Structures are given as C-alpha cells and as structure tokens.
Amino acid sequence: MNWEPIVALAQIGTGIATLMLAVFLAAQIILQRKSLDRAHEDSERELSLSSYALFQEHLHTRITNEPLRQIYALRDEGLDGLGKADLDAISTYFRAGYLLTNIEWRLKQRNRVLGYFIRRFDNFMDSDGGRQYYVRWGRGILNQPALLELADEVYEKLEGGPVPDYAVNAITIVKP
C-alpha cells in the first residue's frame, strides 16, 4: 500500500488543526484585551470619581468648618497677621488642595486640560494669603515641572509681577 497520500492527508489535517487553534487563540487574546480595556476604563472612572469626591470634600470643609471658614475669610489680609493656630489651619487647608492638584495632574485627570488647573490655581491664589502661601510653601508641593510652570503663570498674572527669587527656596524636588 502506498502511504504517501495518507501521510500527506495527515499533514494537511494537522496543518488545518494547527491553523484553527491559532485562530481560536487569537480570538481569545482579542476578547481578553477588550475585557482588560473595559476594566481599565472602569478603574479610570473610579479614580476620577474618587478624586472628584476628595476635592469636593476639601471644598466642603471650608464651608462647614466654622473656625476654618472664619480664618479663610481673613486670607485677603495675608498670612503674617494670623496667629500660629490660624496659620496652621489655613496652611493645612492650602496644603491639602495643592496635594490633590498634584495627584490629579500626575494621574492625568481631566486629560490635563490646562483651564481646569488654571482655575484651581486661581482659586488658591485669589488673595494675598493664597499667593503668600504659594511663594512660601505651595511651590514646594508641586512636583511636576509643567504644573509648577502653570502655577507660576497664574501667580504672575494675579500678583502683577514675577514669582520672587526667594520662592525657589521652598522645599521642592523640582529644579526651577
């Protein structure tokens, strides 16, 4: 009996089975990738909502915490006239806001739409006390060079002049 046609058919069958397996595995990889993309989108949404909730809580604190509200109302008079406890309270409030902004920038929240971050810095630096905090400590909290540059631009617009030279001495990990 001539085995060559049988061997050829077996090889063709094996080739077809191998090709079908490869197609099946490729389809499984595509399905898994779609599933991972969906999970990634879900985690991005959850991160955005958590970030938003933290920021809203931060703003809500300023409204509902009566001692902080009274101190915050004095921010137009600058930081130098505040007592130690009041300075600590408003500094803690500003610090939390800058840290949240840093985190949102690092996580590419709002797709780094500059207007969102500009408004955030406008709110932080809308007073003499807010701009003093930025120069003394706020610059040191911002650890992303592009974010620091954006905040400096907002400061210069609101203050009507450049960021003081001594502001580079704020504790920071970014080289100006």
Give per-residue pLDDT as tens, 62-83.
Answer: 888 898 889 888 888 999 988 9
Which pLDDT score, from 0 to 100, does residue 6 have?
85
pLDDT digits (tens, 9 = 90+) for 29-55: 998 998 888 887 887 778 777 877 888
Check residue 174 and give its pLDDT: 44
Mean pLDDT check: name the lowest of 13-22, 137-146, 152-161: 137-146
Residue carrying structure tokens 């989108």:
41
For position 110, what pLDDT does the model report?
60
pLDDT tens across 137-152, in order? Answer: 999 888 888 899 999 9
Quote the pLDDT of residue 175.
45
**Predicted local distance difference test score (pLDDT) of residue 176:** 41
Total-model pTM: 0.71
Q: How far apart are CA 137 and CA 134, in angstroms?
A: 6
CB 75 within 8 A of CB 129: yes
